[in-house]
Amino acid sequence: MIKKIQFLIIVIGVLMIIGKNAFSEWKGCIYDYAITGEETYIPVIIGKFCGPGAPTELVIEKLDLSTGVYDTIVVLHNAPKWYPEAVSFPANIAIFDNNGAGLSFDVVSLSTMKVIGKITVDVQSSGDNLCQIQGESSALISPDGTRVAIPYIPNEQKDCTQAIAIYDLKTYKLINTLYNIKLDRFSSDGKFLYGAATPIENYLYIINPSDGKILSKLDLHSIDPTIYRGAKGVSGWWYVEDGKLIKIGLQTNFKGNMPFSDRTSITFLYNPETKATTPTITTDWYWDVSEGRPGLPDLSPGAKWWIVEPHEVVLDSTSAISASNCLGKVDVYEVATGNKVAEMNITLPAYPLGVMGPYSTNNGKTVTQYSTGAIISWANDHTFIYNTTQKLIYFDILKNKIIKELPIIRPWEKKGWKPEVGK
């Protein structure tokens, strides 16, 4: 679905892509996707890898959706060696973990690659806090670039119960700390920050980022008891679309450690102001590798359509979740009725899986390659733009067909392209 301009760093994606989908080699160094680990993001950040660890150079490229051509925004030389936590456009800043005392971060300008601020959060003093800042719990920058929310484990906590520290990104001062709340995400308009109660995540907190105070607490089980009773006690989860719509999903038909392919989920929207719920839709259950939690259908910008992009979960030899294998399929449901109204089916290019095999999918079949693709933007409220990594596909929901295709000219495919330009 649409990849957020503000996103978490997916290190495993970078490690899996290097060596299998590297696009350019220059003086013994390899150029590959440094921050997102995916070609389907816009913009993309390309890194110069001359060895293990962080890149020494970053090139920011933006895909022009009207032409299919990538344009160079800026070349950043002598890139920081620290671990990148979060990046924000158009705020043009990044948060880097500089491995300093406590939980220490540098705020870096992507225009100059210079440190413009520092943030230090108090953590456990023992130094062996293995549960702080992992996976989906990385720092989040608000869409307008004015706030950063950092999850951590307070000194007094010994059971990995999270807290959230909210900082002003203009003054770099602490705004507020919220305890026993697990960081979720900002609303798309930046007016709200969401968090889950810990350790039981059946409660959703709605937070005001301006002052860091809790506005309300929502009990998910009280939204529609009939729906929860029908699911017979299985846990629910949610993705917040904006300040007025909360997307809620329930895992159904779940029995122990059964295969992903045998599970299903039901999804609906809830409006906390009107207390209204939409009709449910039932889809295959899947794990969202990029989010690190169960996946749910996405919404079109106007919340008129449910967008379902079925995919397989690719597992390594230990059955750990490794990657998503996209199927080139998009199912569209109408939110108001819950009925399926359109379907796109295409063939995606395939890439080798790299050196972490052997691999299998969630239905048990052995695989050696994977495909990637995503809806990255919308031309209007009924036409989405799908990136296959080789071309852009415009699909009209109302016409239920592809109306335009554009070949993608990737940076390394442009004559004379060299990341060193401007050095």
pLDDT of residue 16: 30
Q: Using alpha carbons, select from 309, 326, 321, 310 the residue that is nearest to residue 360.
A: 321
Segment among 239-243, 368-372, 376-380 with least mean pLDDT: 239-243
Q: How far is Cα 85 from Cα 83, in angstroms, rounded to an integer?
A: 6
pLDDT of residue 235: 47
* H or E element, residue 16: helix 11-17
Segment among 144-148, 257-261, 357-361 with least mean pLDDT: 257-261
Q: How far is Cα 235 from Cα 200, in angstroms, rounded to an integer?
A: 10
The number of angstroms, rounded, from the C-alpha of 76 to the middle of its chain's C-alpha atoms is 24
Vertex 69: Cα angle to 63 and 75 (nearest 5): 65
Q: Using alpha carbons, select from 187, 317, 178, 303 the residue that is nearest to residue 240.
A: 187
Q: Which long-range contacts (CB under 8 A, 24 or more apart) does 325-328 make?
A: 325/361, 325/367, 325/370, 325/371, 326/370, 326/371, 326/372, 326/373, 326/374, 327/371, 328/371, 328/373, 328/388
Is the model more confident about 255 or about 49? 49
pLDDT per position as a tens digit, 44-75: 777 777 777 667 777 777 888 999 988 877 77
Count of all residues that appear for the chain in the document:
423
Secondary structure class of 293 (helix, strand, coil)? strand
- How, if at all, do strands 44-49 and 29-33 pair? antiparallel
- The pTM (predicted TM-score) of the whole model is 0.76
pLDDT per position as a tens digit, 386-423: 999 889 999 999 999 999 999 988 777 777 766 654 44
pLDDT over 80 at 132, yes or no = no
pLDDT over 70, % of the chain? 65
Under the banding of pLDDT at 50, 70 and 90, the label for residue 100 is: low
pLDDT over 90, % of the chain? 21
Q: How far is Cα 130 from Cα 107, in angstroms, rounded to an integer?
A: 24
Q: Domains in the chain, please, with CATH?
A: 96-221 (2.130.10.10), 223-372 (no CATH)
Bridge partner list, 249: 237, 267
Under the banding of pLDDT at 50, 70 and 90, the label for residue 77 is: confident
Alpha-carbon torsion (111, 112, 117, 123), positive or negative = positive
Mean pLDDT taken over the chain = 74
Q: How far is Cα 381 from Cα 386, in angstroms, rounded to an integer?
A: 14
Q: Using alpha carbons, select from 158, 100, 19, 69 the residue that is nearest to residue 417.
A: 69
Is the model more confident about 164 or about 41? 164
Mean pLDDT highest for which of 28-32, 34-38, 303-307? Answer: 303-307
pLDDT per position as a tens digit, 173-231: 999 999 888 888 888 778 889 887 765 556 788 899 999 999 988 876 677 655 554 44
**Which of the 8 DSSP states describes residue 12?**
H
Question: How much is the average pLDDT of 283-301?
Answer: 74
Q: How far is Cα 27 from Cα 53, in angstroms, rounded to an integer?
A: 18
Segment among 37-41, 129-133, 158-162 with least mean pLDDT: 129-133
Q: How far is Cα 241 from Cα 142, in angstroms, rounded to an integer?
A: 14
